[in-house]
Amino acid sequence: MRMKVFLGLVSLSFLLPQILVSEDIAIDVQGTYLTFSYDYNQIYGENVELDSDFCHVYADYIKIDVTSRLFLAVGNVVLEKNGVLSSCDEFLFNPEEKDGLLIRYKETIQFEKLGERGESSLFSHLGFFENVNLLRFQKSFISFTGQHFTITKGYDVYGYDVTMYIEGLESVGLRKFKLSEGIQQGRNGFYLNSIWYNRSQGITTRAGFLYDKENTINSRTQIYYEEHSILKDYEGLKRQVDVTTSTSLNLSESLNLGILGNYNSSTQWNAQFVLNKRWGAQNHTQIDFAYNNPLNRDQEAWLGLESKLYGGKFGNLFFSGRYELHNQVLANFSYTHTPLKNVNVLLNSSYSQLRMGDSLEKSRIFTGNLKLSYGTKVFNLSSDYYLNQDLFGHQMLSQPQLRFALNTFQLYDGLLSASFNNIFIYNRFKTDELRKDGYSNNTIFNLSSQSISVRKNLILNFNLAVEQFFEKEGRNFTSGGFIFKVKQILTKGVSLEGFYSVHSRRKSENWFIEGTTSQDLSTVLRVNPAENLNGWISFSYDPKNSQWRQSFADISIGLLKNWQFHSLTNYDFLLKKLNNVDLYLIRDMGRFQIRLMWRSLSKQFLIELIPK
C-alpha cells in the first residue's frame, strides 16, 4: 500500500508537468540554407525569412542564440511590424522581451529602437555574435542542416527535412526532428545525462525529467540506473535503480509546497511534504511531514516545525524541532545578536533523542555553544564556551576557549605580509566516577613575501611559518617551515620553477628535545609555446637523504575540430616504477564534453559525457 502511495506520488510529480508542457510554435524560420549547432544551441541561416509574433523579417543572414533568446539579422534587412515596413543593415532583437534595435551604416551609425520597452537592453549585446560564424557550426560535433526550422514558445527547436551531421560527416536524414533535444537539456523535458561503462559498476546511466514554469512550478525527477549483470564475478544485485523526485509549487507569493521523494531498488524509500510560509522579506516558518522506509530498520514518520525570525537590532532567532512517532526528538535553537559595534554574540544549542540501532533505548545528547567576539581592523578577540552532555551515558565535556588573532598586516610597502594567531583551550571531562581537567595553547606566526622580480625573467618569493604548542600533559612541540620559490622565464611560453622547502618539528619535554626535519627540492618545467600545446614535467628530490622521490608529467595537445589529447603520468623513483598513466581524448562540444579515458592503475577504459 505504502509503495503504491510512493509510486503514485512519483507519477503525480512526473505527469503534472507533462500535462502543462506546451509545444506552440512561436517562431518560423525559412531560408535557402539553415544550420543548427547542437553543441552551442545556435542557428545560422542564409537568405532568410523569419516570422514571429514580434515582427516579420527578411535578411541575407541570420544568427540565433537560442539559449539567450538573441537574434541578429544581417544584410539587406527588411522587417514588417504592424503593417509598417522598415529596412536596415542589421537588426538585433529579442522576441521574448519584444525588444529590437535597427542599425544602419550610413555617414554615421544610426540606431532605431523597436518594441515596447522604454530602454533597450540590446546595446550591451551588440558584440554578442562576433565569433558566431558558419565555420563554428561546421566544426560542431552534432549539427543539422535544412531549409525550415521552427522554435516553440518553450524555445525548443524543430527542423523539417533536416540532415544530421556528426563531426562534419553527413549522417541520417530526419523528416521532423527536435533539434535542441539530445544528451542533456537544461530546460523543460526529458534529458539523458550520461551513459558509461566501467569494470566496477557495469553500465550506468542517468536520465531525468525537468519542468520549470517561472514563479509557478519547478519539478525535477532523476533516475540513476546501474546494470551489473554484464560483469563477471559481481557479487551484489544484478541491477540497481535510484529515483529522486522534487517538485516545488508556489501556491501564492508567500506560500510554497514541496513534494520530495527518493526510491532505491534495494527497497529503501522516503517521501516528504514541506509547506513553507514567508513572513515579510526575511522571516519564514516551515512545516514538514516525512515518511522513511530505511533498509533493515523500522519505518519512521517525522513531523517538523522550523522558523527563522529576523529581529533587526534585537537579533535573529532560529528554531527547528522534529518529532517522530516512536518518541524520537531532534531540536535546534540559535540566536545571533550584535549589541555593540564590532561585538557579536552567538548562542546555539541542540538536543537529540534517537534510537540506538535495533534496541528500544534512546541516546540523549545536549550540546550548547556560546560565543562572544570583538573584531577591529587590527585584531579579533573571541571567547567560546562549548558544552556537550550525554544524558544517557552520563558524560559531560565543557570547553572554554579564548582566541586572539592579528589580522594580516603588510610590511615594507606590501613586500611582506604577516599574521599571528593564538588559541587557548581549557577542557573539563566529567563522568559519574571521574573528573579530568586539561588545557592547551597553540601559537602560530606566518610571514610571506610577494613575488620579487630580481632581474629580468627571474622571480622569487618565500613563506615562513612557526608554531608553538603546549599543554598540561606536557606533549609540547615547536615546529617551523620555510618554502622558497624561484621562477625563471627561459623564453616565450617556457619557464623553469624551483621549490625548496624545509620543515622541522621539535618535541620539548622539560630538558629533553627530540624531533624530525624533512626537506624537499622540486623543479617544474612548464611549456606553453602555442595555444594548442600545454605541458609540464616535475621532479621531486629529498636533499636530506639524497634521494629522488617522484616525477609527474602532464601534456595537453589540441587536435583537429576541438579534439584534445591529454595525458598525466606519475613515476615513483623509490619503487622504481611507473605508478599511473592517464590518457584522455576529449571533445569539447559547447554544451557538453565527451571524454574517452584510459587509466593504467585501475586498467579501466571509461567513456564519459559531461554536461557543462
Partner 1 sequence: MKKKLLLVVCVGIVFHCVGCITFRIIPSYPVEGYVESVSLCRGIDEKEGELLTPLDIRAEFSANEDNIICFVALKNINRKIQLRWKWYAPDKALSRDSGNVVINKEESQLETLTAYDELMLNLREEDKIVGQWTVVVLLDNQLIARRLFEVK
List residues near partner 1 by CB under 8 A.
32-35, 46-47, 60-61, 74-76, 89-90, 105-110, 126-127, 130, 133-135, 145-147, 161-163, 170, 172-177
Residue 176 to residue 161: CA distance in whole angstroms? 6
Question: Where does residue 47 fall: left (phi above 0), alpha (psi -120 to 50 degrees), or beta otherwise?
Answer: left
Q: Which is nearer to partner 1, 145 or 185 (CB)?
A: 145
Q: Are 306 and 319 in contact (CB under 8 A)?
A: yes
Contacts of 292 (CB under 8 A, 6+ apart): 270, 299, 300, 301, 302
Residue 403 to residue 380: CA distance in whole angstroms? 8
- Shortest distance in whole angstroms from residue 210 CB to partner 1: 23
Q: Which is nearer to partner 1, 137 or 302 (CB)?
A: 137
Residue 277 to residue 286: CA distance in whole angstroms? 6
Q: Which is nearer to partner 1, 131 or 252 (CB)?
A: 131
- Shortest distance in whole angstroms from residue 585 CB to partner 1: 26
Residue 260 to residue 219: CA distance in whole angstroms? 10
- Shortest distance in whole angstroms from residue 129 CB to partner 1: 9
- Shortest distance in whole angstroms from residue 378 CB to partner 1: 39
- Shortest distance in whole angstroms from residue 130 CB to partner 1: 6
* Distance between first and last Cα of the chain: 41
Question: 249-286 b/e with 16+ CB inside 10 Å = b?
Answer: bbeeeeebebbbbbbbeeeebbbbebebebeeeeebeb
Q: Which is nearer to partner 1, 103 or 271 (CB)?
A: 103
Q: Which is nearer to partner 1, 129 or 469 (CB)?
A: 129
Residue 540 CA neighbour count, 13 Å, CB half: 13
Q: Which is nearer to partner 1, 72 or 259 (CB)?
A: 72
Q: Which is nearer to partner 1, 73 or 260 (CB)?
A: 73
- Shortest distance in whole angstroms from residue 16 CB to partner 1: 27
- Shortest distance in whole angstroms from residue 154 CB to partner 1: 21
Please report the sign of the dihedral spanned by the C-alpha atoms of residue 190, residue 193, residue 197, residue 202: negative
Q: Are 101 and 74 in contact (CB under 8 A)?
A: no
Q: Which is nearer to partner 1, 59 or 231 (CB)?
A: 59
Q: Are 36 and 143 in contact (CB under 8 A)?
A: yes
- Shortest distance in whole angstroms from residue 166 CB to partner 1: 14
